[in-house]
């Protein structure tokens, strides 16, 4: 909001009399359904008759009905000033846009439009745009639109198109009611005839009326007894039958006025007191304007000022200046956090979380996340557990090394490099170690293939967030990198890995690498990295021996069909394979065959399948064509009933055409 | 001393009447005392010698009641004007929120006025007070004396008011200008609240 609505100016505190009933009713109607009844609503009245009160009342009531409503109150002067400032700063469009988003615009004192051609044009444009989009505009002035000097005819017409309504000076009864309400608000009590006396002094505006009442309140605070009507008349100096209390000037104090204590209280002190009262009230209330200014400033910079708005609603906050200071501090913290966040991740620039000083903690967490990398680094795959890794004499060394690493990560073998041919279980072992390491409290294990690391880095470079990428990996407690040989020739990745390696090594965080060729045969990898890899423990993971292979097959069979045929396992493990992966392929073939024939997988089934020509293609060959018809699952039980190979469609088409 | 205490909801103003000896500081306080209803004033403490000269200081507490939820108190002090009581002056000046400098309008006392004003500046500076920001008003007392004995307010302004602060003509014995001066200084002191700087 441009200017905070004065919390005292509500419909509830607006005294309605004959003179302003129409205006008040129209205002309420507008507040209840902005933009649909009287649009624009133009209220005019002499100074001090309640225009501003009514305008702010509309704002309060409309916001009470719909808190999401964007409501803005401003005086024309501020409108002009802001406009000039915006034009001066070359931000004219931003200024227009700001008002284009307001649902309810309350403009006070439009009589100052006189002779301001460009502002009239601006207001006309704004009014048109608000009217055409059904948003409410309410204006107030001290005279009718037609009487505002040199006002654009088109504006007059626009205003006349809505409702132009006036507020007259309140009648006697209304004046008494206003005084009564005012006195109640100020917690002062007067007898009714005093208020009537004040109401009868012929004040030309409500403001003047309240001013008179204020004088009485101040004086009542000084005097011991309640003020009566005659005194009130005297004090207000409006022709009463009694003289006002003796003035000090008329009655000079005797020399050495020390004895003056016995004299009747002079109104000299009363006048002084009422002066002090008004100064104190002004100054004590001055915090409101300071808070208002702060709201304007921070909102202008795009920060949420809910806390300050809430402060304004309070009658007497314990320490507004402290609250303002706190608020500024929070904003400063947000700025620092935002700067850091942007450094880590440019995508965070302008994130809403850095605009809410009431939620610095959230912003801090956001930065924390950014610092750690918004995404955790790739974790080890849960399907590869170390417990499932079948142990054999050949893998004993590697497994032992793995277990020491798990028992004391970073301390015994750092890095651990597992070398082995393709498909011997390096990845399984690596992820198995990763899963174990991740069980440690606070463990953040990055387990990924070198190729993924390279892709990730390229993506980060592309999006200009290498810092973010680095931060993401620097917080990990263990780095497990599969297929390290893939970084050959990738200079940037090697460079980053080199730094990461050093960092993790110094922090005694475990690193495990796998490599499909012995390190000595690696080419295209910088020596500084290579020597570091060799500086740990390099273990070889050979193809499992026959016994281990039997165990692997048995486990696979148990997994797939629930039982393991010992003979089948023995047979399959005896087949010449060069990797565990190939062995798994064999098992799968046998299982497929057994499935299609609906028999249990046995060695008898496997033997012709693996040694002779394949009885039936277990898988669809690439040259095969399908009908494209999806058969129901049940019919698939009998594979013979499905036509897997169709003649060439070209031939069929030619046949059909003939 | 914090002028406005939002926590205990108190406003306390310490105002000090400063000036050369026999310029009328105590008379100012006596006049105020005489105009304040009994319930609003505390006992006026006046430590005077046989010849009615302020030896230590005068103290007049005023209770202005609750204003806008703040218990408001004014404490009026005078300092002894004589040159040799500087230690007392320093003591009284401590924690002051505002100073009324009561000048003697008699032409022959001009040098005393200047000397006392300089003494005020020195003492304020010693307390680390920024004299340019500090609330001070001038009162040209004894303006009721015959024209040929006194300097006019304009002449006194010329001689003393180089900081261009508010100045008031007064006849403290009859009370002319006393409350105007008090109002002037109170307003200055209270308005410092707006800037949020405790005096």
Residues of chain A with CATH 3.40.50.300: 11-167, 386-540
CB atoms within 10 A of CB A596: 17
Q: Is A108 in a helix, a strand, or coil?
A: strand
Task: Give A34-67 pLDDT, tens digit per residue.
Answer: 888 788 899 988 888 888 889 999 999 999 888 8
- In this prediction, residue A254 carries a pLDDT of 36
The DSSP bridge partners found for residue B5 are B10
Contact in structure between B43 and B125 (CB atoms under 8 Å): no
| B83 lies within 8 A of chain A by CB | no
The token duo for A104 is: 């309810």
Residue B114 has pLDDT above 90, yes or no: yes
Q: What is the pLDDT of residue B110?
A: 93
Regions of chain A short of the pLDDT cut 70: 1-2, 222-224, 237-266, 284, 315-316, 346-347, 371-375, 612-658
CATH code of the region B4-191 = 3.40.50.300
pLDDT value of residue A651: 65
Q: What is the mean pLDDT of residues B40-69?
A: 73
| Ranges of H-type helices in A423-576 | 426-438, 450-462, 466-474, 491-506, 527-534, 546-561, 566-574
Residue B51 contacts A, CB cutoff 8 Å: no
Task: Compute the nearest-CA separation of A279 from chain B (Å).
Answer: 7
Determine whether the interchain pair B175/A257 forms a contact, defined as Cβ–Cβ distance below 8 Å. yes
Enumerate the β-bridge partners of residue A141.
A44
Out of B39, B70, B175, name the one closest to residue A253 (CB): B175
Interatomic CA distance for residues B181 and A211, integer angstroms: 24
Q: What was the ipTM of the complex prediction? A: 0.81
Chain mean position to CA A603: 63
Q: Which CATH architecture has domain A546-619?
A: Orthogonal Bundle (1.10)
| Contacting residues of A for B193, CB less than 8 Å apart | 283-284, 286
Distance CA A70, CA A59 (A): 10
Dist. CA B86–CA B172, nearest whole Å:
24
B108 interfacial to chain A (CB closer than 8 Å): no
The better pLDDT of the pair B182, A301 is held by B182
Where in the sequence of chain A do the CATH 1.10.8.60 domains occur?
172-245
Say if CB A170 and CB A49 are below 8 A apart.
Answer: yes
3-state secondary structure of B106: strand
Burial class (CB in 10 A: 0-12, 13-18, 19+), A33: middle
**Smallest Cα distance from B34 to chain A, Å:** 4
In chain B, which residues have their Cβ closer than 8 Å to the Cβ of A218?
none
* Interchain pair B194, A268: CB under 8 A: no
pLDDT at site B168: 95
Please give the structure tokens belonging to residue B177.
């200008």
Distance from CA of B70 to the nearest CA of A (A): 9
pLDDT at B74 over 70: yes
Q: Spell out which residues of chain B touch residue A272, defining contact as CB-CB under 8 Å.
A: 179, 182-183, 186
Confidence at residue A250, expressed as pLDDT on a 0 to 100 scale: 35
B194: nearest CB among A253, A258, A286: A286
The Cα–Cα gap between B81 and B85 comes to 7
Q: Which residue of A has its CA nearest to B28?
A: A257
Fold observed for domain A11-167: Rossmann fold (3.40.50)
Q: What angle do CA A603, A607, A612 make, to 5 degrees?
A: 165
Q: What is the pLDDT of residue B95?
A: 87
User: Contacts of residue A311 in chain B, CB cutoff 8 Å?
Assistant: none
B70/A269 Cβ within 8 A: no
In words, the CATH class of domain A172-245 is mainly alpha
| Contact state of B30 with A281 under an 8 Å Cβ cutoff | no
Element (H, E) at A167: strand A163-167
How many other β-carbons are positioned within 10 Å of the β-carbon of residue A208?
14
pLDDT digits (tens, 9 = 90+) for A605-646: 788 877 765 444 445 444 445 555 554 554 455 556 566 666
Closest CA to A191 of A205, A179, A203: A179
Subunit contact A319:B6, Cβ cutoff 8 A = yes
The pLDDT of residue A624 is 45
User: Chain centroid to CA A635: how far?
Assistant: 54
Kindly determine whether residue A260 and residue B35, on different chains, have CB atoms separated by under 8 Å.
yes
Written as six digits, the tokens of A63 are: 């916001």
Q: What is the pLDDT of residue A273?
A: 82
Cβ atoms of A67 and A98 within 8 Å: the answer is no
Instruction: Pick B107 or A355 by higher pLDDT.
Output: B107
Contact by Cβ (8 Å): B48, B55? yes
Torsion (CA) A96, A97, A101, A107 in degrees, nearest 10: -20
Q: Mean per-residue pLDDT for B44-57?
A: 64
| Separation in Å, CA A417 to CA A393, A408, A484 | 19, 16, 9
For residue A569, give the 3-state DSSP assignment.
helix
How many angstroms separate the CA atoms of A632 and A650, rounded?
Answer: 27
What does B114-166 look like in DSSP terms, one character per residue? HHHHHHHHHHHHHTT--TTTS-EEEEEE-TTS-TTTB--HHHHHHHH-TT---
Q: Does B27 touch chain A (CB under 8 A)?
A: yes
Angle of CA points A88, A90, A91, to nearest 5°: 105
Fold of A386-540: Rossmann fold (3.40.50)
For A499, half-sphere exposure in the C-beta direction (CA atoms, 13 angstrom radius) is 11
CB contact under 8 A, B176 and A249: yes
Distance (Å, whole) CA A266 – CA B178: 13
Q: Chain A within 8 Å of B30 (Cβ-Cβ)?
A: yes
C-alpha distances in angstroms, A196 versus A19, A74, A224, B26?
18, 35, 22, 44
Are A224 and B27 within 8 A, CB to CB? no
C-alpha–C-alpha distance, residues A29 and A24, integer Å: 9
What is the C-alpha to C-alpha distance for residues B27 and B22, in angstroms, rounded to an integer? 9
Query: A340 or B179: whose pLDDT is higher?
Result: B179
> How far apart, in whole angstroms, are the C-alpha atoms of residue A54 and residue A11?
7
Interface membership of B173 toward A (CB under 8 Å): yes
pLDDT given for residue B169 in this prediction: 94
Kindly tell me if the per-residue pLDDT of B120 is higher than 90: yes
Reply yes or no: is the peptide bond before residue A417 cis, omega within 30 of 0.
no
pLDDT of residue A223: 67
Reduced to 3 states (helix: H, G, I; strand: E, B; else coil), residue A526 is coil
Closest Cβ–Cβ partner in A221, A271, A319 for B65 = A221
Nearest CA in chain B to A218: B67
Which DSSP helix (H) or strand (E) runs through A276? helix A267-300
């Amino acid at each position: 909001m441009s200017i905070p609505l004065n919390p005292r100016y509500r419909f509830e505190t607006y005294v309605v009399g004959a003179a302003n009933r129409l205006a008040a009713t129209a205002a309420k109607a507008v507040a209840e359904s902005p933009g649909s009844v009287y649009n624009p609503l133009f209220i005019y009245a002499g100074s001090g008759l309640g225009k501003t009160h009514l305008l702010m009342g509309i704002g309060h009531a409309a916001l009470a009905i719909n808190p999401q409503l964007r409501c803005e109150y401003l005086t024309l002067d501020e409108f002009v000033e802001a406009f000039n400032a915006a034009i001066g700063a070359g931000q004219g469009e931003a200024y227009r846009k700001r008002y284009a988003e307001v649902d309810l615009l309350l403009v006070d004192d439009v009589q100052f439009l006189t002779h301001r051609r460009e502002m009239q044009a601006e207001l006309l444009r704004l009014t048109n745009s608000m009217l055409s989009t059904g948003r409410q505009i309410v204006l107030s002035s001290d005279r009718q639109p037609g009487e505002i000097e040199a006002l654009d005819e088109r504006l007059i017409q626009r205003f006349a198109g809505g409702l132009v309504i006036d507020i007259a000076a309140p009648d006697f009864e209304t004046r008494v009611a206003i005084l009564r309400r005012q006195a109640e608000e100020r917690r002062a009590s007067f007898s009714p005839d005093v208020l009537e006396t004040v109401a009868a002094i012929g004040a030309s505006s409500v403001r003047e009326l309240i001013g008179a009442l204020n004088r009485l309140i101040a004086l009542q605070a000084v005097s011991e007894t309640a003020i009566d009507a005659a005194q009130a008349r005297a004090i207000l100096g409006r022709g009463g039958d009694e003289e006002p209390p003796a003035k000090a000037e008329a009655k000079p104090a005797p020399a050495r006025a020390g004895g003056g204590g016995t004299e009747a209280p002079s109104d000299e002190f009363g006048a002084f007191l009422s002066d002090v009262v008004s100064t104190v009230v002004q100054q004590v209330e001055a915090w409101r304007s300071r808070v208002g200014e702060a709201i304007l400033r921070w909102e202008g910079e795009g920060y949420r000022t809910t806390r300050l708005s809430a402060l304004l609603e309070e009658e007497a906050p314990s320490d507004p200046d402290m609250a303002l200071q706190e608020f500024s501090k929070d904003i400063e913290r947000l700025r620092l956090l935002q700067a850091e966040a942007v450094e880590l991740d440019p995508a965070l620039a302008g994130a809403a979380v850095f605009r809410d000083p009431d939620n610095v903690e959230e912003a801090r967490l956001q930065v924390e996340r950014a610092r750690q990398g918004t995404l955790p680094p790739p974790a080890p795959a849960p399907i590869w557990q170390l417990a499932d890794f079948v142990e054999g004499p050949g893998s004993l060394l590697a497994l032992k090394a793995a277990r020491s690493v798990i028992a004391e990560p970073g301390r015994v073998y750092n890095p651990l490099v597992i070398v082995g041919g393709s498909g011997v279980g390096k990845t399984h072992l690596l992820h198995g170690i990763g899963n174990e390491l991740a069980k440690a409290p606070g463990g953040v294990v990055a387990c990924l293939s070198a190729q993924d690391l390279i892709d990730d880095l390229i993506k980060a470079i592309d999006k200009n967030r290498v810092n973010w990428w680095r931060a993401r990996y620097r917080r990990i407690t263990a780095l497990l990198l599969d297929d390290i040989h893939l970084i050959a020739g990738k200079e940037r990745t090697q460079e980053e890995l080199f730094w990461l390696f050093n960092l993790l090594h110094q922090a005694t965080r475990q690193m495990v690498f796998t490599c499909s060729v012995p390190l000595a045969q690696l080419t295209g990898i910088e020596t500084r990295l290579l020597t570091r890899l060799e500086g740990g423990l390099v273990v070889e993971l050979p193809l499992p021996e026959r016994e281990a292979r039997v165990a692997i097959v048995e486990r696979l069979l148990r997994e797939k069909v629930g039982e393991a045929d010992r003979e089948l396992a023995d047979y399959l493990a005896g087949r010449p394979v060069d990797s565990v992966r190939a062995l798994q392929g064999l098992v799968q073939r046998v299982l497929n065959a057994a499935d299609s024939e609906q028999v249990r997988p046995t060695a008898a089934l496997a033997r012709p399948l693996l040694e002779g020509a394949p009885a039936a293609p277990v898988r669809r060959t690439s040259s095969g064509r399908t009908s494209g018809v999806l058969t129901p699952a049940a019919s698939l039980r009998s594979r013979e009933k499905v036509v897997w190979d169709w003649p060439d469609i070209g031939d069929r088409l030619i046949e059909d055409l003939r | 001393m914090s002028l406005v205490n939002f926590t205990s909801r108190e406003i306390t103003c310490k105002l000090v009447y400063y000036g050369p000896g026999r310029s009328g500081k105590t008379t100012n306080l006596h006049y105020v005392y005489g105009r304040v209803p009994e319930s609003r004033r505390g006992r006026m403490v006046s430590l005077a010698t046989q010849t009615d000269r302020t030896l230590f200081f005068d103290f007049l507490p005023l209770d202005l009641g609750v204003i806008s939820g703040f218990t408001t108190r004014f404490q009026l002090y005078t300092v002894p004007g004589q040159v040799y009581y500087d230690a007392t002056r320093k003591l009284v000046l401590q924690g002051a929120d505002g100073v009324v400098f009561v000048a003697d309008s008699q032409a022959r006392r001009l040098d005393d006025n200047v000397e006392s004003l300089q003494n005020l500046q020195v003492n304020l500076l010693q307390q680390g007070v920024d004299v340019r920001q500090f609330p001070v008003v001038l009162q040209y007392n004894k303006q009721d004396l015959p024209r040929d004995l006194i300097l006019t307010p304009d002449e006194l302004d010329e001689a003393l008011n180089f900081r261009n602060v508010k100045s008031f003509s007064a006849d403290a014995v009859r009370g002319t200008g006393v409350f105007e001066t008090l109002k002037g200084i109170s307003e200055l002191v209270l308005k410092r609240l707006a800037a949020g700087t405790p005096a």
